[in-house]
Structure 1
Amino acid sequence: MDVKRIFVMQMISENNLIIEEKNPIGCVANPNQIFVTLYDAGTYFTNVKFYKFILGDNSVTSTDPCYNLYFNSSSCGEYIFAFDVEKGSFYRLKGFNGNDLS
């Protein structure tokens, strides 16, 4: 599983990352054409990796000219999550519309 793809889909599902179509006729938003850079924030044992995304430092870009990307202005400026590479599990820790610690 691609951790960057999972992060983008989570951001879209929580309305933190907004996709605006430039011309809705004939355009279909394709999340596979959204690319993100993440900071590696360490590991726990060998299977759990921590990642950080900071607005203004990390980038989110699209190769599709049909739409623009925006961040929800009420969103947090820093997102931290963990990814279990063996189980393929994504854990929200900070910045999302909740966390998976409880």
Structure 2
Amino acid sequence: MKIIKTVQIIICLSYSTFFYSQNGNYQNGNDINRTFALNFLNENVLIIKNIAESHKIYNPDIVKIEVELLGNYNSNISFYKFELGKNKIIPLDKKIDITLQMSSCQEYVIAFNIENHKSYRIKGFDTNDLLFLIRDVDKSLYKGKKVKTILKELNDLPTEVDFICIYNSLKKMNFDSECLKDCIDGKKSH
């Protein structure tokens, strides 16, 4: 009886590993694309309209957003950037028109947790999720790391983001800090 259960567990694990290896990267790519699209739509950075009827469409699945991988924190958190002029938003339907609205800066950064599929808005958005990222890092396998250590490790990544400035600004509730500026209309993010 124990042998049968062991074989069943091995088969399930093998199938799961095979399925993830076949679909894991594709799914993560879709999740990242969808995350950027949803955030852009939510903040009216990205406006998708039906050409014939001229009404707005809130469907993140009809555009492909090119983003750049900036780096990884440990093995489960990746940082991605969208930069206007460098990256593109491509309509996947010929019946739609897309418009981007940015004024004060040209880049957005999102951290993406590959294990639990959570995303964290880090730069350019009207809100900043750095505190949630730090909390989730602390809850994960890296329990016991001091915030100062996590921030130093994040700052050492090639992301062009000043995590220490963001943390200190959020902690002091200094929403006028340059590192909390959002890209939409020059307002500070909070």
User: RMSD across aligned C-alpha pairs, in angstroms?
Assistant: 2.0
CA deviations over 1:59-88 (Å, ceiling 9, x no partner): 101121221111113363100110001111
Question: Does the aligned pair in 2 maintain the 1:16–1:75 contact within 8 Å?
Answer: no
Is 1:43 matched up with 2:59?
A: no
Q: Is 1:19 aligned to 2:48, yes or no?
A: yes
Q: Which one is further off, 2-11 or 36-45?
A: 2-11
SS of 2:105 mapped into structure 1: coil
TM-score by length of 1: 0.87
The TM-score normalised by the length of structure 2 is 0.49
Q: What is the percentage of aligned positions where both structures have the same residue?
A: 37
Say which structure is richer in helix.
2
Aligned residue for 2:81, secondary structure, equals strand
1:67 and 1:75, CA in 2 relative to 1: closer, same or farther beyond 3 A? farther
Q: Does 1:69 align with 2:105?
A: no
Contiguous gaps of at least 5 residues in structure 2 = 1-27, 132-190
Higher strand share: 1
Match of 1:4 in 2: 33
Q: List alignment gaps of at least 5 residues for structure 1.
A: none
Moved over 3 A (4+): 27-30, 73-76
